[in-house]
Structures are given as structure tokens and as C-alpha cells.
């Protein structure tokens, strides 16, 4: 497994950015192409922050590397996998700031109300994932007693079948719902009955424009999960043994947990070498936890500030006290702006939304990687920072927060080890100690980079928020290592 990390020393840098500091050629492109860069940058105005040293992985985690995580057997127990252990999920749930997760969901089509999804009562991520599917089905399933009864039984079955992956007593409160189910055929029938009700609900509630996808079998995650569960049960050959989590829970888009070389995407690149996408934040954290346990590295996901610093700011160390002067014009709004002479719009604007359409062989793919990478002094390179899909970061995002309002809190810690000034100005800068998740109340998480929006595809300071319990398509991961390792 690749463990190449590019090191970044302690520094003070500018989080966010200002239109006035954009290079002239980008402002001209914005004027000619109406990219809306000013409105994008206005949502993340400049804030100066202090960051400690860290390392960022040179590449995104690949399908092959993630598959090694799914297949890794615990020493002395070949039948058990780290991915299945309740210990893994409880550790992830406890160690990261997600133990009090509340998500305000968007209204379903035809429904004007929103719903707060509350996961504060669950003990680990597997339970939280099942709860997220339960909320989804409540938004789309037909409001009938039959559907409600079928849903209750289906979720009780899911908890029972995945009992070895759930923290605590997986059967608590489900005995009555499971009564009478003594054979695989009866359990499969109960699951399939609910799946049929759920499919009906999707067809009745989704917008007209999505019906084509539904007719082609491209249903959302809840129905896909129960379809996988039913299929895994048919292969089980008995009901005494629980179903391994990896058989029903893997990156969305994988046909099978053990991978498939027939996937669409970058056809010129082997599937195992392509970035893994479609995974939830918790799957990403579990992968980092597994790697930390297996390799002894202090790895995790990067914070929003680490991601942006690595993508855009000079790699020089923090100047010695008592004073430092920083030039905001040195920040790269595009991580490859200092070396790629092509218009970034070619790759990551509307015409470059699907990179696969530009690639005819591995040489093309490698050329895109080379042209769009961030190259540092000494020849080190970081690839796929933007434009290859979104990438999770550890930061929570409060939808009520605008323009980095959290830094205006009087209680936010200020860095004062040296006096910091902006070039050309005498007044000292206020520099904050960057603390992920500080003063943030909601439970969406930040992800960086997108090839989908004009103007937003390559900007390093563009951020979005997503439900950490959903496996969104095109969301991948990159690892960070803390400190000087």
C-alpha cells in the first residue's frame, strides 16, 4: 500500500481568499466566461490561521487499497475482519466529533417539511447507518400500515443478520418482529416484501426527471442495501451464522464487495488504481483507523485547513519570532496554477465534468495527473487535489455559518507566538489557532473539490457540506499524518 506523504511544516496561512488577490489571467477568464469567481470567494473570505506540521498523502486512496482493508483478516482469527469488528466502529464513533450527530434532512419531493435526523442514541456507526436508511424510507415509503409493518420487520432482520458488527445487544427489542422467521426463504420473503414497498414509494415520490434512472434499476441506497442483504442471505446457506458486514456494506457503485474490473470511469486505468468513491465519512475514518492499527502511523483524514494549505500555500516553514510578513498574493487559487499553461476550464469546468471523456489511454490519464498536480520545491507532487471528485475532511459544517463566522467568536483562541503582518500593511494580523469543529453546531461535514460546477471545479477554497452517513457518489478520501512523521 502506498504510504507516500508530502510534509508541510508549521506555518501561518490564509484560509479562504479574496477576488482582489486573484492573478490577472483568472480575473480575465472570469470576465470572459462569467465563471462567478467573486461570488464563490465571497462565501469564504480570508482568515489567517496557525497550523502545526503534518503530511498529506500524494494520492487519493484507491479501490485496491480500500479492498485490502475489506479483506484484511485479524491475526489468529482468519474468519474475522477488522471491517466487521464492533470495536472498529465504536472506536470511530467515539474518537471523532460525531457522537452527537443531528442532521437536518432535505424535504422529499412533494413534502414541504424538513426532518431532523437524530443519531445521538446509537452506540456505533453500523447502527447509525441503519438509522439513516430508516429515515430515508420514512421520507419515501407509502404512508400505510402495511409499509410500516414491513419496514419494522425488515430493519429488525437487518440488525439481527449484522449482529456481529453491531455494538451491544443487536436483538434488543426485536424479538417479536423476528418471531416465526425460521428459514432463509421466510427471511428473504420478508426483506423482498419491504423492498417492493420501498420501490413503489420511490416511483411515486421522486421527481419526473429521475424516473428513467429508477426504471433502469438505479435506486437510492436504502433499496440497494436491502437488495444486497437479500442476495447475501441467499448465498449464506443457513441462518445460524451472521452475515459479514463487508458483504452488504461497501462503496456505492461496487457490484460486489470483492471488486469488479468492469466498472465505468477511467477505462484506460485499472479499476484497482482508480480512486475509491461513494463512501461515507465513517467508512473513511474506519479505513484510517485500520491503517493506524496495522502500520503504526498517526493517520487520519485531513482537516479543511490542512487540505487547503497543502493545495495552495507556499511550503516554507514558519519564520522565526518576533515578526513575520505574509504575502496573500502567493496563494494559489488553483493548485496547479503555477505550472499548467492550459485553461483550467478544460479539465474542471462544464466541458471537463467527465474526465473519462478526455482519456483514451493510460498516458492521457497520467498526463492529466501531471498537468493538474501541485508541485512543490524539491520536486514533490500532490495529485488529485481538485477535479477528481469530492474528498472528505474532518471538519463539521454548520449550515448557519456563513463567511467563517465561527472565527468572530470572542472565545476562539488567538495565535500570539509572533507578530504577523500582511505585506504592505502596518497593522498586525489577527491569527487564530485552527481548531476543526470549534463553535460549529450542526453535523454536516466539509468536503473539498468538485468537477461539477463551473468556477468551482478547481478552486482550493471551495467547500461543500454533506451528510456523513450517506455514501455520496464521487466522494473519495485522502489521508493525512499528524506531526513530523
End-to-end Cα, the chain, rounded Å: 17
pLDDT per residue, tens digit, the chain (485 aa), is: 556 999 999 999 999 998 888 888 778 877 887 777 888 788 889 999 999 999 999 999 999 999 888 888 655 555 567 888 888 888 888 877 665 567 766 555 555 456 778 888 888 889 989 998 988 888 776 566 667 888 888 999 999 889 889 987 766 556 677 777 778 888 888 888 888 888 777 777 666 655 565 555 556 778 888 988 998 888 887 777 888 888 888 887 787 777 665 555 667 788 888 889 888 898 999 999 989 888 888 999 999 999 999 999 999 999 998 999 999 989 988 777 777 666 655 665 544 445 666 677 888 888 888 888 899 988 899 998 876 778 999 998 887 787 888 888 877 899 999 999 999 999 999 999 999 888 887 778 888 875 554 344 557 787 888 888 887 777 899 999 987 55
- Cite the beta strand spans of 334-426 per DSSP E: 374-375, 381-382, 390-397, 419-422
- The answer to whether the CB of 159 falls within 8 A of the CB of 170 is yes
What one-character DSSP code corresponds to residue 96? Answer: S
Q: Which pLDDT belongs to residue 350?
A: 46
For residue 179, what are the contacts with CB-CB under 8 A and spacing of at least 6?
Answer: none
Q: Which segments of 19-176 are extended strands (E)? A: 47-51, 54-57, 73-74, 77-81, 102-105, 115-118
Partners of 187 in the beta sheet?
Answer: none
Write the CB contacts of 421 (distance below 8 Å, at least 6 apart in sequence): 323, 324, 325, 326, 427, 428, 429
Cell numbers placing 403: 463567511
The reported pLDDT for the residue numbered 456 is 45
| Joined grid coordinates for residue 466 | 454533506
Beta-carbon count within 10 A of 370 CB: 14
What are the start-end ranges of the E strands in 297-401? 299-300, 323-326, 374-375, 381-382, 390-397
* Burial (CB count <10 Å: 0-12, 13-18, 19+), residue 57: buried
Cβ-contact 285, 303 below 8 angstroms: no
Amino acid at each position: 500500500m502506498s504510504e507516500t506523504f508530502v510534509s508541510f511544516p508549521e506555518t501561518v496561512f490564509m484560509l479562504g481568499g479574496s477576488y482582489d488577490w486573484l492573478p490577472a489571467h483568472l480575473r480575465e477568464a472570469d470576465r470572459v466566461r462569467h465563471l462567478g469567481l467573486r461570488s464563490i470567494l465571497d462565501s469564504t473570505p480570508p482568515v489567517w490561521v496557525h497550523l502545526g506540521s503534518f503530511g498529506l498523502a500524494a494520492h487519493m486512496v484507491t479501490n485496491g487499497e480500500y479492498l485490502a482493508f475489506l479483506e484484511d483478516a485479524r491475526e489468529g482469527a482468519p474468519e474475522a475482519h477488522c471491517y466487521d469488528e464492533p470495536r472498529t466502529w465504536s472506536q470511530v464513533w467515539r474518537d471523532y466529533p460525531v457522537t452527537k450527530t443531528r442532521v437536518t434532512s432535505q424535504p422529499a419531493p412533494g413534502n414541504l417539511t424538513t426532518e431532523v435526523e437524530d443519531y445521538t442514541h446509537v452506540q456505533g456507526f453500523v447502527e447509525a447507518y441503519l438509522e439513516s436508511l430508516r429515515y430515508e424510507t420514512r421520507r419515501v415509503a407509502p404512508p400505510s400500515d402495511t409499509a410500516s409493518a414491513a419496514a419494522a420487520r425488515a430493519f429488525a432482520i437487518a440488525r439481527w443478520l449484522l449482529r456481529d458488527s453491531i455494538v451491544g445487544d443487536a436483538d434488543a427489542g426485536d424479538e417479536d418482529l423476528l418471531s416465526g422467521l425460521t428459514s432463509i426463504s421466510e427471511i428473504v420473503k420478508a426483506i423482498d416484501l419491504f423492498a417492493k414497498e420501498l420501490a413503489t414509494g420511490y416511483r411515486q415520490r421522486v421527481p419526473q426527471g429521475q424516473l428513467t434512472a429508477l426504471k433502469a434499476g438505479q435506486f437510492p441506497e436504502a433499496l440497494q442495501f436491502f437488495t444486497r442483504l437479500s442476495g447475501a442471505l441467499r448465498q449464506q446457506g443457513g441462518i445460524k451464522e451472521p452475515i459479514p458486514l463487508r458483504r452488504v456494506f461497501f462503496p456505492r457503485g461496487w457490484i460486489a464487495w470483492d471488486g469488479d474490473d468492469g466498472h465505468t470511469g477511467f477505462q484506460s486505468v485499472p479499476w484497482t488504481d482508480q480512486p475509491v468513491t461513494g463512501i461515507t465519512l465513517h467508512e473513511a475514518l474506519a479505513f484510517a483507523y485500520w491503517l493506524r492499527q496495522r502500520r503504526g502511523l498517526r493517520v487520519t483524514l485531513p482537516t479543511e485547513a490542512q487540505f487547503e494549505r497543502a493545495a495552495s500555500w507556499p511550503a516554507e516553514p514558519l519564520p522565526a519570532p518576533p515578526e513575520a510578513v505574509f504575502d496573500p498574493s502567493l496563494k494559489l487559487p488553483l493548485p496547479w496554477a503555477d505550472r499548467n499553461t492550459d485553461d483550467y476550464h478544460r479539465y474542471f469546468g462544464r466541458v471537463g465534468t467527465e474526465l473519462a471523456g478526455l482519456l483514451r489511454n493510460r498516458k492521457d490519464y497520467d498526463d492529466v495527473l501531471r498537468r493538474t498536480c501541485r508541485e512543490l520545491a524539491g520536486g514533490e507532487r500532490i495529485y488529485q487535489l481538485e477535479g477528481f471528485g469530492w474528498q472528505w475532511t474532518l471538519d463539521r459544517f454548520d449550515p448557519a455559518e456563513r463567511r467563517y463566522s465561527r472565527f468572530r467568536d470572542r472565545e476562539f483562541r488567538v495565535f500570539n507566538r509572533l507578530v504577523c503582518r500582511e505585506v504592505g500593511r502596518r497593522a498586525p494580523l489577527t491569527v487564530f489557532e485552527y481548531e476543526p469543529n470549534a463553535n460549529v453546531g450542526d453535523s454536516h461535514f466539509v468536503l473539498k473539490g468538485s468537477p461539477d460546477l463551473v468556477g468551482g471545479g478547481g478552486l482550493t477554497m471551495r467547500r461543500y457540506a454533506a451528510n456523513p452517513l450517506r455514501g455520496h457518489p464521487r466522494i473519495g478520501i485522502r489521508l493525512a499524518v499528524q506531526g513530523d512523521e
